[in-house]
């Protein structure tokens, strides 16, 4: 089966920028208070429910995966970029990282206690988000928790040519309204439990939305 072109673009782009990305993106401990609070809430939810391991999908260099592990979460990371996975393994040799795509996860049904998709779904074309959210729902155990966080907008389509230290990239970003993402999650079968929208501030150039959702038991 031929790989969708957007996945190829994302993989190649993040392989190119991986080192610069790792240097520029702050660890979770340096995020703004609300972002830290949402991650802390997610960590407590999955740790308390204890339904299974937690997958950090689109984990990049593993900083957030490690942050969850430090809070007692059985976390592992998956990323489309082999270079990102290589850097994550070097930085956190005690954690598990693998190359993979959230469009077709190599994970059994109902296996995960939690999924974190942290700034990792906005490169997905809107028409394919139901596929991604369907994989989230398939692999989560009943009673498992999802945290989805990323940039949002008024159906904006961004096509940068350079990023993270002026390196060439070919990915696109799709910034959808928060209510659209919330609707897709509920249509997939998730029960939304919390939503936080943050206006541009704290050094961010764009609006961010975070969702906590649960797969009904």
- The span from the CA of 207 to the CA of 108, in Å, is 34
Mean pLDDT over all residues of the chain? Answer: 96
Does residue 203 carry a pLDDT above 70? Answer: no
Q: What is the mean pLDDT of residues 192-209?
A: 86
Neighbours of 205 (CB within 10 A): 7
- The span from the CA of 217 to the CA of 214, in Å, is 9
- The span from the CA of 36 to the CA of 125, in Å, is 28
What is the band of 79 on the pLDDT scale with cuts at 50, 70, 90? very high
Q: State residue 96's pLDDT score.
A: 98
Range of the domain at 43: 5-214
Q: What b/e string do you get for 165-176 counting C-beta neighbours within 10 Å, with b at 16 or more?
A: eeeebebbbbbb
Write the pLDDT tens digit of every residue in 134-185. Answer: 999 999 999 999 999 999 999 999 999 999 989 999 999 999 999 999 999 9
Q: What is the mean pLDDT of residues 71-82?
A: 98
Where does residue 119 fall: left (phi above 0), alpha (psi -120 to 50 degrees), or beta otherwise? left
The CATH number assigned to the domain holding 209 equals: 3.40.50.150
Q: Could you please report the per-residue DSSP string of 152-171?
A: --SSEEE--SEETTTEE---
Does residue 202 carry a pLDDT above 70? Answer: no
Contact 149, 118 (CB under 8 A): yes
Does residue 70 carry a pLDDT above 80? Answer: yes
Q: State residue 205's pLDDT score.
A: 79
Does residue 1 carry a pLDDT above 80? Answer: no
Write the pLDDT tens digit of every residue in 90-131. Answer: 999 999 999 999 999 999 999 999 999 999 999 999 999 999
0.75 surpassed by pTM = yes
| In 98-188, alpha helices (H) | 129-139, 178-188
Q: State residue 3's pLDDT score.
A: 87
Domain count within the chain: 1
Does residue 57 carry a pLDDT above 70? Answer: yes
Q: What is the mean pLDDT of residues 10-28?
A: 96
Selected residue with higher pLDDT from 217 and 155: 155
Write the pLDDT tens digit of every residue in 122-131. Answer: 999 999 999 9
């Amino acid at each position: 089966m031929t790989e969708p072109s957007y996945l190829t673009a994302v993989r190649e782009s993040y392989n190119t920028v991986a080192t610069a990305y790792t240097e520029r993106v702050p660890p979770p401990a340096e995020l703004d208070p609300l972002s830290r609070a949402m991650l802390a809430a997610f960590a407590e939810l999955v740790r308390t429910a204890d339904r299974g391991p937690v997958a950090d999908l689109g984990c990049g260099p593993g900083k957030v995966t490690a942050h969850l592990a430090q809070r007692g979460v059985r976390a592992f990371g998956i990323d489309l970029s082999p270079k990102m996975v290589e850097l994550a393994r070097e930085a956190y040799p005690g954690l598990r990282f693998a190359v993979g795509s959230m469009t077709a996860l190599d994970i059994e049904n109902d296996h995960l206690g939690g999924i974190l998709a942290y700034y990792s779904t906005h490169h997905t074309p809107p028409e394919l988000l139901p596929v991604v959210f369907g994989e989230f729902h398939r692999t989560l155990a009943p009673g498992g928790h999802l945290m989805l966080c990323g940039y949002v907008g008024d159906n904006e389509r961004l096509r940068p040519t350079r990023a993270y230290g002026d390196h060439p990239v070919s990915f696109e970003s799709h910034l959808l309204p928060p209510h659209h993402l919330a609707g897709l999650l509920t249509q997939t079968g998730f029960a939304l439990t919390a939503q936080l929208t943050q206006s541009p501030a704290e050094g961010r150039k764009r609006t961010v939305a975070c969702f906590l959702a649960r797969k009904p038991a």
